[in-house]
Homo-oligomer: A and B are copies of this chain.
Amino acid sequence: MLDLAVQRLPVSPVRKISEMIEKASNKHRIISFGGGAPSLAPPKEVLDFLCSEFKRDAHAASSYGSTKGMPRVRELITDTLKREERVSIDPEKELCLTEGGTEGLFITFRTLLAPGDQIILSDPTYLAYYPQLSFLGDGVTHLPVHLQDDFQIDVNMLNEAMTKRTKAVLILSPDNPTGRLLDKKVLKAIVQICEDKKVWLITDDIYKDMLYEGKFHNAREFSKCDNIISCCSFSKSASMPGFRLGYVYGPASFIERVAAIKSYISLCPSRPAQLCVEKYLENRGRVKKKYLEKIVVPTYKKRRDAMAEMIERYLPKAEFAIPKGAFYFFPDMSRYLTRMDEEEFASKLMEQKQVVVIPGKYFGEQGEDHLRFTFVSEPKERIEEGLSRMAKFIEENKL
């Protein structure tokens, strides 16, 4: 018999869909508003550089390296943090590369929290946090956030939610699934509460480069930093999710433990992925800057705007906020969900119209009657096509 935590761990709906789409014979017919997978290729310079490194020294470009990552890549990451977010991190002791953001979060949770410890998350938020945390035996306190408050965290409620067992607060900004960017003063208040109560603040910054409006603030702007841990990834920013590279930074004593754990989970980060990031960040982020400013942000902003327009046109009874960052709309669909819940809606929509959306309940209790649509995967015409299929689905099913 397997132990309970292993038996009970659910399979993520996004992963199931990923597997289903990979096997589908009619891939092109499927319109995916499902997983948050960038539809752009990584910058050409990055892949060209990797291939030139294979030519220059194929052995070195394919070899093991230190668990925390190549020294040069770690320095480029901390230089970037300095330049873009005005935070000083020691590349040697305060930073560790990880297999995408997922491993960074998993190891962070495992390092900071012991079974029974409490962590506070907003609800809704990223769906994989819950199973990651429950698998590790950690307790989650949910902090409801609402469309009418622009999904901002209620700081008084956070204060009240803290107990003796609270070990950490986790924030994701810009958020998945709501697209909400935390207000500067809300962020500042959260940082101060965590500092006062001596609680870890974990910031998941995976979408920080995916901003259409507003400005991203690093939580360290408001703190002496010794209780802040940040996780990030190149999967979204550099459109290289298949390379599996992210990073986590925080106090040296914490990072030392992260690296020890990582060495027994995955040994060391991917070398080809690190070479890509070397090119992406070198020369004061020349490639990154150009790629984000000229390609990524304009492309996704256009799609976001198109999706907002199409939701209004085809789903006039849905209520939603325009996301400031990240890749998602999270409309409240309750006025269409009188005869089926959002899970049944999503599953029948896929069956009947080959449009993939994610049921809101996976993102937390507050996500009930919502659907998550990503606008990152499909170009404008297919966004329109997907929403018009949805309207037909609603009509045909009399919803």
By size class, the interface of chain A is 35 or more
**Which applies to chain A's interface (DSSP): helix, strand, loop or mixed?**
helix
Q: Are A266 and B244 in contact (CB under 8 A)?
A: yes
Q: Are B58 and A44 in contact (CB under 8 A)?
A: yes
A372 CB contacts on chain B under 8 angstroms? none
Task: Check A157 for interface membership: any CB of B closer than 8 A.
Answer: no
Partner of A63 from the list B99, B128, B241 (CB cut-off 8 Å) is B241
Q: Are A244 and B257 in contact (CB under 8 A)?
A: no
Contact A260 to B9, CB < 8 A, known contacts A64-B37, A270-B273? yes
Q: Are A22 and B241 in contact (CB under 8 A)?
A: no
A103 CB contacts on chain B under 8 angstroms? 265-266
Task: Check A261 for interface membership: any CB of B closer than 8 A.
Answer: yes
> How many copies of this protein are present in the complex?
2
A62 CB contacts on chain B under 8 angstroms? 41-42, 47, 239-243
A260 CB contacts on chain B under 8 angstroms? 9-11
Contact A47 to B54, CB < 8 A, known contacts A2-B257, A9-B264, A66-B15? yes
Q: Are A11 and B54 in contact (CB under 8 A)?
A: no
Contact A41 to B59, CB < 8 A, known contacts A2-B112, A102-B264, A244-B267? yes
Smallest CB separation, A198 vs chain B (Å): 11
Task: Check A35 for interface membership: any CB of B closer than 8 A.
Answer: yes
Q: Are B9 and A257 in contact (CB under 8 A)?
A: yes
With A and B bound together, what is the CA distance between A59 and B296 in angstroms?
13
Residue among A10, A106, A112, A268 with the most chain B CB within 10 A? Answer: A268
Q: Are B11 and A71 in contact (CB under 8 A)?
A: no
User: Nearest chain-B residue to A254 (Cβ)?
Assistant: B2
**A interface list, Cβ under 8 A from B:** 2-3, 6-7, 9-12, 15, 18-19, 22-23, 35, 37-42, 44, 47, 50-51, 54, 58-59, 61-68, 70-71, 99-100, 102-103, 106, 110-112, 114, 128, 131-132, 135, 235, 239-244, 257, 259-261, 263-273
